A and B are shown apart, each in its own frame.
Chain A
C-alpha cells in the first residue's frame, strides 16, 4: 500500500475537523469528494504535516510519517499541488520546475528524465520555459504547479482541488492529463467537480463533516444515488 491513513483525527484549536478518518491509496488514482467544510483540505494538510495530527497514524510505503516535518514528508515521497498559493509567481517556469527537484534527493537524481516527462505531459511548459509564472494564464499556472510536483519524482501525488478557478475546457484537459499520469504515479485528488474527476480515478471516498461516509470504485460512485443527487446534480 502506498498511503495508509488510520483513524486520523485533527483540527484547529478547540475545533475538531477530522474524525477517525481511514483512507488507503495503492498504486492507483483515488478521488476524495465532499462539500465545502467536509475536511478534505484539512486531511491533505495533515498528511503533509502542515496541520498536526491529534491521534491516528499516517503510513507511507510502510513507514509512519506522522511525526515528520513537512519538508521531510516531501523528501519521503509525497508531492502536493496545493489548492491556492501553489506557485512562486516571481520565478520563471524553469526555476519553478528546478525547485521541485532541487530539495528532494529522489528528484534531483533524475532531473532530466523528470523534465522530459513533464514536457511530454505539458508541452506548453517547454515553450514558456523562461516566462515568469505570474504572467501565465490560470490553466498554464496549474500545469506548472503539477509539473513542479512531478519533478520531485514522488511516490504519491496529492492534488487539492486542481480544477478550482479554471474554465471548463482547461478542467477537462487537466483531468485528461491526470488520467495519463496515473500510470506513472499514485494519485490522491480532492475535487468538487465530481463529474470530471470520475473519468480520471479508479476509486473514491466521500467525506462529510470530517468523516468518510462512503468508499467505492469510480463506477460504483457514478451510480450511487447519494453521489448522484448530492454531487452530480442529477
Chain B
C-alpha cells in the first residue's frame, strides 16, 4: 500500500511537471529549466556517491557533453537530436576509458582526480582554437525548437525523467546492494561475490552519460557554449550542495534539495548578485555540521521515531 501511494505521488508530480508550462511564462520556465538541470546533476552525482566515491567532476562531464553536442552539429553536420545522443555516448565512452585508470583510486585521491579532469577538459577546449573555438567558444546555427520556451522546458524535463528513472533503477535493482556493500566495506563486498570494479564502472559510466546528456540539452537550448560557462565550477558545487541539503543516498533527497536551493538561488541572485555562492558555501558547512543526513534523512528519522513510538504505545 505504501509503495502504491509513493508511485501514485510520483505519477501526480510527473503529470504536474508536464503540464506546468500551460501556467507559466518564459522567464519562470527558464528558471524551472535551470532547476531541473541542477536537479538532474545532483541526482546523478548522488548515484555514484552511493558507492562511496565522491566525484568533483560533474562540471567536466557536463561541459564535455555540451561541447560534444555543439561540435557534432558544427563539425559533423549532425542534427541537434542526433548530437544529443552522440554527446551521451561520447561522455559514456570517455568515462569508460577514464574509469579504468581512476576507479582504482579511493576517497580524496578519486575526488581530486575528478576535479583535475574537469580542469583538463576545460583547458583542452580552451586551447583547441580551430576545432572548439578556443576561449570564445562556439555558436550554433540554430537553437533547438527555435528557442520555444515550452518545448525547451519539456526536453529538459525529459532529460530529468531519464535521470530519475536511472536513479530509481539504481535503488531498486541489484546495483543498490552492490553499491551499498562497496560503500560499507569493500572486503566484505568482494567476499560476497561483488565485482567491485565492474559495479563502480557501471555507476561511473551511467552517471557520466547523464551529466553529458544534461550538458548537451543545455547547449542545444542556449545555442552557444564557451569553456568558462560549460565547465563552470557551479555545475559541480551547486548539485553537491543540493544533494547534501536534501539528503544523500536517495533519489528524493537531491530532488528536494534542488527545488529548495534552486528557488532560493533565484531569489538570492536578485538580492545579492554573486553573494548567493557564499550562501551555498554556508549551507554546505551547516548541513555537514548539523544535518549530515540532509532533510530527507531527517524526515525519515522523525517518521521512524514516531512510527516506533506508535508501535510501542500499541504494545504497552
B250 to chain A, nearest CB (A): 13
- A82-B193 in contact (CB<8A): no
Within 8 A of A (CB), among B52-85: none
Given A88-B184, A89-B184, A91-B184, are A70 and B177 also a contact pair (CB < 8 Å)? Answer: no
A79 to B194, CA, bound (A): 12
Among A96-104, A200-208, A226-234, the stretch that binds chain B is: A96-104
A80 within 8 A of B: yes
Query: Chain B interface mostly helix, strand, loop or mixed?
Result: helix
B174, B180, B187: the one contacting A82 at CB < 8 Å is B187
B195 contacts chain A at the CB level, 8 A cutoff? yes
Asked if B180 and A95 make an inter-chain contact with CB atoms under 8 angstroms apart, the answer reads yes
Interface centre among A82, A99, A148 (most CB of B within 10 A): A99
Taking a contact as CB atoms under 8 Å apart, the answer to whether B177 and A71 are in contact is: no
Q: Is A50 an interface residue (CB 8 A)?
A: yes
> Which residue of chain A has its CB nearest to the CB of B249?
A90
| Shortest Cβ distance from B176 into A: residue | A95
List, in ascending order, chain B residues with CB within 8 A of A148's CB.
192
Judged by a CB distance under 8 angstroms, whether A85 is at the interface is yes
Given A88-B184, A88-B185, A48 and B178 contact (CB-CB distance below 8 Å): no
Is residue A74 within 8 Å, beta carbon to beta carbon, of the partner chain?
A: yes
Q: Contacts A71-B196, A88-B180, A95-B180: A102 and B174 contacting too (C-beta < 8 A)?
A: yes
* A85 touching B185 in the complex, CB below 8 Å, given contacts A70-B190, A71-B196, A152-B193: yes
- Bitwise, A80-121 to B at CB < 8 A (1) or not (0) is 101001111111000100111011100000000000000000
Q: In chain B, residues 138-174, which have Cβ atoms closer than 8 Å to a Cβ of chain A?
A: 174
Inside 8 A of B309's CB, which chain A residues have their CB?
none
Contact mask for chain B residues 180-204; partner A; CB cutoff 8 A; 1 contact, 0 none: 1100110110111111100000000
Q: In the docked arrangement, what's the CA distance between A104 and B185, Å?
A: 18
Q: Is the CB of A88 within 8 A of B181?
A: yes
Let me know if B185 and A152 touch, CB within 8 A: no
Tell yes or no: A75 within 8 A of B by CB: yes
Q: Is the CB of A103 within 8 A of B178?
A: yes
Bound Cα distance from A148 to B178, whole angstroms: 14
Distance A89 CA – B180 CA, assembled complex (angstroms): 10
Identify which of A71, A89, A91 contacts B195 (C-beta below 8 A): A71
How many chain A residues touch B (CB < 8 A): the figure is 26
Q: Which of B177, B188, B191 is the most central at the interface, judged by chain A CB atoms within 10 Å of its CB?
A: B191
B188 and A74 contact, CB distance less than 8 A: no
B192 and A95 contact, CB distance less than 8 A: no
B187, A99: Cβ atoms closer than 8 Å: no
CB–CB A103/B194 < 8 A = yes
- CB pair A152 B188 closer than 8 Å: no
Cβ of B177: which chain A residues have Cβ within 8 Å of it?
Answer: 95, 98-99, 102-103
CB distance from B1 to the nearest CB of A (A): 16
Q: Find the B residue at minimum CB distance from A86.
A: B188
Q: Which residues of A contact B187 (CB under 8 A)?
A: 50, 70, 82, 85
Give min CB distance, B19 to chain A, whole Å. 38
- Distance between A99 CB and nearest chain B CB, rounded to angstroms: 5
For A99, the closest partner residue in chain B by CB is: B177
Of the residues B174, B181, B192, B196, contact of A152 by C-beta under 8 Å: B192
Interface of chain A residues 128 through 153 with chain B (CB within 8 A): 148, 152
Give the CA-CA distance A103 to B192 in the complex, in Å: 7
Complex Cα distance A85/B178, Å?
A: 16
* Bound-state Cα–Cα, A70 to B195, Å: 9
> Is B190 a contact of A71 with CB atoms below 8 Å?
yes
Separation of A13 and B117 alpha carbons in the complex (Å): 33
Chosen A-B contacts, 20 in total, with CB atoms closer than 8 Å, are A48-B191, A69-B195, A71-B190, A71-B196, A74-B191, A74-B193, A88-B180, A88-B181, A89-B184, A90-B184, A91-B180, A91-B184, A99-B181, A100-B192, A102-B174, A103-B174, A103-B192, A103-B193, A103-B195, A104-B192
CB-CB nearest 7 A-B residue pairs: A103-B193, A70-B190, A74-B193, A88-B184, A104-B193, A80-B191, A99-B177
Which residues from chain B sit less than 8 Å from chain A, CB to CB? 174, 177-178, 180-181, 184-185, 187-188, 190-196
| Besides A71-B192, A91-B184, A152-B192, 16 new A-B residue pairs in contact (Cβ under 8 A), listed by A number | A70-B191, A71-B196, A82-B187, A85-B185, A86-B188, A88-B181, A88-B184, A88-B188, A90-B180, A95-B177, A102-B178, A102-B193, A103-B193, A103-B194, A103-B195, A104-B193
